[in-house]
């Protein structure tokens, strides 16, 4: 009974991972920011093959920013760095939301099906970790450089009146560009262990994993570097996360690594104990592959193709909307076998278009294609396929004022607008669209193509040089979109979304 772990375990944007084990099953939550539903829950039997099983919430808040109708949205905000914990039959997920200046705690007895009960505490708790102590008391430890601790009520639903609320300690400053953050807290072996990430501004200047430990909750704490390695990839450190054991008592760390435009990728690292200190890796390095004594299982796809053959108006879990959707403006049942996206609020570019339906992209290469029926589009409407990040690229149909249609490839202009790179007359109502993504060795390019029915692919525009930027703080996503620049009421129908991961980039004219 064994499984081969190959790092990264998922070559897709699954950042800020928090992993627990309940019995023989592992669960993981990660950051989802402006993608809805939010806080994805995945499960695994072996730490390598993960299955998406649900989300903590469908919508975090219902306001103009979260609904993407304020002209700005919540890009780079929303839910950050959730902490997943389990105690006595109850699962807890806690995180902060920068744009709301709030700390959220969700609870459920059924992590896969919910429902989740929500509590809100005013004020940010940056990169929090819940800590359930042996005496039943509950704490949240959080902060960036200045690490704080607050005591919560027994059910972790509110701050405990008169409970601990203080600065726990200050982390290193000298030679550090980004001080410690991303807390993961544990009580083990008679010690309190606090794991963090920090980013030195001297030396190799890459992110590294730090651990603090103390016999006493309030300190004093000792400090060590737990891991400083880049997995042989462009000096990008593998760090930020926590630890988890197996039923047999083996230990592993669940961390992540920046891989540029595709996003932040989760990794699993073997761990052992020496003198009650955690020691990560093999000779201080993250192994690219290693064996774990856990049952093998068939991998489940994180990104899927979809023929949109649904009996109920409910999408597969793999899809997420860019911000809160307007549920009155989409359907997979109105035209059976098709996804219909109707236009809502007027927008001037894809970044402000509501009801853009997205999935992650994956490395080393991947491609997504769709068929768009533009019959229902009104003058000024734009619909198609997008490579979505701040530096976006799109390919699709632009409906003209006089009913004419053009196929257009666009990129973000210097002023943020959706700038046409190339457009061509297109007389047909139905068009095939495709984007090829290449993330090999951070090539980070996307190539856009179209085809009339019965014809071969033709590239359009120029390759997009993708770049991970902090205003979105998310790896590139592929999305289906339709929005109005003139009037509401049009619609676009998508026959399918087909997806291919890995292998050669498709040949196109």
Render pLDDT for 260-318 as a digit per residue (tens, 0 to 9).
999 999 999 999 999 999 999 999 999 999 999 999 999 999 999 999 999 999 999 99
Is there a catalytic annotation at residue 509? no
Question: What three-state secondary structure class fits 137?
Answer: coil
Choose among 386, 388, 383, 387: nearest CA to 405.
383
- Tell me which fold the domain 320-501 belongs to: Jelly Rolls (2.60.120)
- Cβ neighbours around 108 below 10 Å, total: 18
Q: Look at residue 502 in the predicted model and tell me its pLDDT.
A: 86
| Separation of alpha carbons 434 and 459, rounded Å | 9
Q: Report CA 256 to chain centroid distance, whole Å.
A: 12
| Separation of alpha carbons 205 and 194, rounded Å | 22
Question: What three-state secondary structure class fits 142?
Answer: strand
> Distances in Å between the alpha carbon of 156 and those of 84, 104, 229?
12, 10, 35
| Separation of alpha carbons 460 and 11, rounded Å | 27
pTM here is 0.97
Task: Specify the domain boundaries for CATH 2.60.120.200 within the chain.
Answer: 320-501
Q: In CATH, which superfamily holds the domain spanning 3-292?
A: Glycosyl hydrolase domain; family 43 (2.115.10.20)
Q: Which of 181, 198, 228, 229 is catalytic?
A: 181
Query: Looking at the DSSP assignment, which residues form a beta bridge with residue 173?
Result: none
- For residue 206, give both structure tokens: 């890459």
Q: Which of 16, 127, 258, 436 is catalytic?
A: 16
Question: What three-state secondary structure class fits 261?
Answer: helix
Q: Look at residue 291 in the predicted model and tell me its pLDDT.
A: 97
Contact 95, 38 (CB under 8 A): no
- Cβ neighbours around 477 below 10 Å, total: 24
225-267 pLDDT per residue, tens:
999 999 999 999 999 999 999 999 999 999 999 999 999 999 9
407-416 pLDDT per residue, tens:
999 999 999 9
| Separation of alpha carbons 433 and 496, rounded Å | 11
Is there a catalytic annotation at residue 172? no
**Does residue 205 surpass a pLDDT of 80?**
yes
Task: Specify the domain boundaries for CATH 2.115.10.20 within the chain.
Answer: 3-292
115-136 pLDDT per residue, tens:
999 999 999 999 999 999 999 9
């Amino acid at each position: 009974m064994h499984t081969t772990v190959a790092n990264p375990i998922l070559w897709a944007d699954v950042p800020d991972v928090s992993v627990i084990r309940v019995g023989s099953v592992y669960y993981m939550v990660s950051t989802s920011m402006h993608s809805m539903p939010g806080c994805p829950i995945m499960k695994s039997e072996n730490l390598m093959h993960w299955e998406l099983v649900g989300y903590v919430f469908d919508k975090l808040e219902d306001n103009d920013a979260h609904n993407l109708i304020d002209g700005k949205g919540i890009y780079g905000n929303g839910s950050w760095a959730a902490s997943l914990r389990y105690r006595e039959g109850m699962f807890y997920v806690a995180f902060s939301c920068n744009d709301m200046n709030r700390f959220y705690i969700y609870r459920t007895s059924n992590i896969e099906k919910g429902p989740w009960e929500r509590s809100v505490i005013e004020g940010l708790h940056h990169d929090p970790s819940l800590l359930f102590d042996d005496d039943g008391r509950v704490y949240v430890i959080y902060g960036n450089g200045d690490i704080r601790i607050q005591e919560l009520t027994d059910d972790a639903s509110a701050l405990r009146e008169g409970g601990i609320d203080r600065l726990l300690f200050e982390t290193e400053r000298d030679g550090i560009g980004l001080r410690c953050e991303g807390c993961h807290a544990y009580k083990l072996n008679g010690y309190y262990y606090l794991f963090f990430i920090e980013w030195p501004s001297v030396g190799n200047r890459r992110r590294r994993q730090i651990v603090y430990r103390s016999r006493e909750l309030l300190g004093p704490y000792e400090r060590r570097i737990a891991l400083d390695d880049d997995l042989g990839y462009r000096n990008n450190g593998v760090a930020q996360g926590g630890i988890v054991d197996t039923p047999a008592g083996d230990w592993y760390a669940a961390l992540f690594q920046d891989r540029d435009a595709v996003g932040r990728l989760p990794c699993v690292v073997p761990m052992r104990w020496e003198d009650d200190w955690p020691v990560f890796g093999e000779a201080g390095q993250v192994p690219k592959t290693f064996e774990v004594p856990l049952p093998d299982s068939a991998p489940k796809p994180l990104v899927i193709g979809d023929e949109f053959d649904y009996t109920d108006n409910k999408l597969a879990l793999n899809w997420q909307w860019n911000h809160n959707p307007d549920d009155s403006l989409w359907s997979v049942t109105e035209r059976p076998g098709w996804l219909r996206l109707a236009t809502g609020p007027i927008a001037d570019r894809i970044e402000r278009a509501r009801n853009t339906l997205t999935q992650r992209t994956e490395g080393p290469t991947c491609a997504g294609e769709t068929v768009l029926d533009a019959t229902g589009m009104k003058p000024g409407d734009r619909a198609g396929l997008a490579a979505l990040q701040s530096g976006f690229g799109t390919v699709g149909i632009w409906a003209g004022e006089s009913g004419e249609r053009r196929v257009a490839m666009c990129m973000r202009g210097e002023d943020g607008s959706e700038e046409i790179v190339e457009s061509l007359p297109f007389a047909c109502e139905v068009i095939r669209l495709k984007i090829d993504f290449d993330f090999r060795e951070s090539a980070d390019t996307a190539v856009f193509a179209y085809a009339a029915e019965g014809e071969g692919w033709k590239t359009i525009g120029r390759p997009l040089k993708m770049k991970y930027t902090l205003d979105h703080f998310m790896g590139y996503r592929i999305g289906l979109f339709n929005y109005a620049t003139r009037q509401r009421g049009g619609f676009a129908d998508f026959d399918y979304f087909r997806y291919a991961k890995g292998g050669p980039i498709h040949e196109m004219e």
